[in-house]
Amino acid sequence: MPNTIALVDDDRNILTSVSIALEAEGFRVDTYGDGAEALRGITQKPVDLAVLDIKMPRMDGIELLAKLREKTGTPVIFLTSKDDEVDEVMGLRMGADDYITKPFSQRLLLARIRALLRRRDLDSSTEAKTESGEEIIQRGEMVLDPARHKCTWQGNPVDLTVTEFLLIKSLAYRPGLVKNRDQLIDAAYGEHIYVDDRTIDSHVKRLRKKFRAVDNDFAEIETLYGVGYRYRERAVKRVG
């Protein structure tokens, strides 16, 4: 059975264009023009993933997410504007899985949807580690569990979006090895997806900010100006 996506936005142009793109990729799409309508619809007809705009009338995306999280763990992607950083962070803390900033590439949205659905499928399996073929890896104070999309630093959880998780995983997989921006784009978004180099810089900035919220002395992600980034080389320990 095809996966069903709930698309919630008060912009009719986005609803139309994105739903057409998703249906062309084999998804079923339920569209809603505001949060209140979406809450009723998703409650009555559960979906596999929801894409929510933050700024909407009657019930915004933050409130909708809070109400959905009372009933379901359905993966959620936020659509945000450039000035929505506060709402964006609040949404991630409340359980959103990823965010995409408007204006956005439909190919990027498709890539994020597929990544979240794959993660959901792994999380639902007790054999997640075996099926994914990926070990839990510890780099100093950081532990990454790729199968379950979990990251901790000094034992404290660090809530990362899919993109951020893939970036830190790519860097930490080979400590000391420099990754240029093109390599990190491929790691985070997949090949054949165009993303501006500055997007990677923004993600790295957010990664550092999230880790420093747990440990102000975090300095494991090193910048090599004009080259790229690397994860500080230390003793490597594998767990599991």
The enclosing domain of 181 has a CATH number of 1.10.10.10
Mean pLDDT over 165-182 rounds to 90
pLDDT at position 202 over 90: no
Q: What is the CATH number of the domain that holds 37?
A: 3.40.50.2300
What is the Cα–Cα distance from 138 to 40, expressed in whole angstroms?
Answer: 43
- At 214, the pLDDT band (50, 70, 90 cuts) reads very high
The single-letter DSSP state of residue 179 is B
Same-domain check for residues 110 and 42: yes
* Number of structural domains in the chain: 2
Residues 150 and 119 in one domain: no
**Domain identity same for 140 and 226:** yes
Specify whether the CB–CB gap between 117 and 111 falls below 8 A. Answer: no
Please report the pLDDT score of residue 185 as a whole number.
80
19 and 116 co-located in one domain: yes
Residue 31 has pLDDT above 60, yes or no: yes
Q: Do 147 and 96 lie in a common domain? A: no
Please, what's the largest Cα pairwise distance for the chain? Answer: 53
Q: 179 - beta bridge partners?
A: 229
Average pLDDT score over the chain: 82
Indicate the helix (H) or strand (E) that contains 26.
none
Regarding whether 231 and 191 lie in a shared domain, the answer is: yes
Q: Which domain holds residue 164?
A: 128-239
Q: How many CA atoms lie within 13 A of 167 on its CB side?
A: 24
**Rounded CA gap, 79 and 36, in Å?**
17
Q: Report the run of H or E that residue 205 belongs to, with start and end.
A: helix 197-214
Task: Check whether residue 96 and residue 205 sit in a common domain.
Answer: no
pLDDT tens digits along 69-127: 887 778 889 888 755 555 556 666 666 778 888 888 888 888 889 878 876 665 555 34
Question: What percentage of the chain carries pLDDT values higher than 70?
Answer: 81
Tens-place pLDDT, residues 33-53: 999 999 999 999 999 999 999
Nearest to 81 by CA among 56, 49, 57: 56
Examine the domain organization and report whether 66 and 153 are in the same domain.
no
* Euclidean distance between CA atoms 118 and 234, whole angstroms: 31
Q: Tell me, yes or no, whether 144 and 72 share the same domain.
A: no
Q: Where are the alpha helices (DSSP H) in 124-196?
A: 128-132, 162-173, 181-189
User: Which of 95, 123, 151 is the C-terminal boundary of a domain?
Assistant: 123
Q: Are residues 100 and 204 in the same domain?
A: no
Kind of pairing between the strands at 76-80 and 98-101: parallel
Give exposure, 5-19, as e/b (b: 16+ Cβ within 10 Å): bbbbbbeeebbeebb
Do 136 and 81 share a domain, yes or no? no
Task: Among 67, 94, 123, give the residue marking a domain's end.
Answer: 123
pTM of the model: 0.60
Query: Cα(210)–Cα(205) distance, rounded to whole angstroms?
Result: 9
Peptide bond connecting 103 to the previous residue in cis, omega within 30 degrees of 0: yes
What pLDDT is recorded for position 223? 93
Q: Can you give the pLDDT at residue 131?
A: 46
Q: 80, 96, 123: which is the final residue of a domain? A: 123
Half-sphere exposure of 45 (CA within 13 A, CB side): 12
Residue 227 and residue 139 share a domain: yes
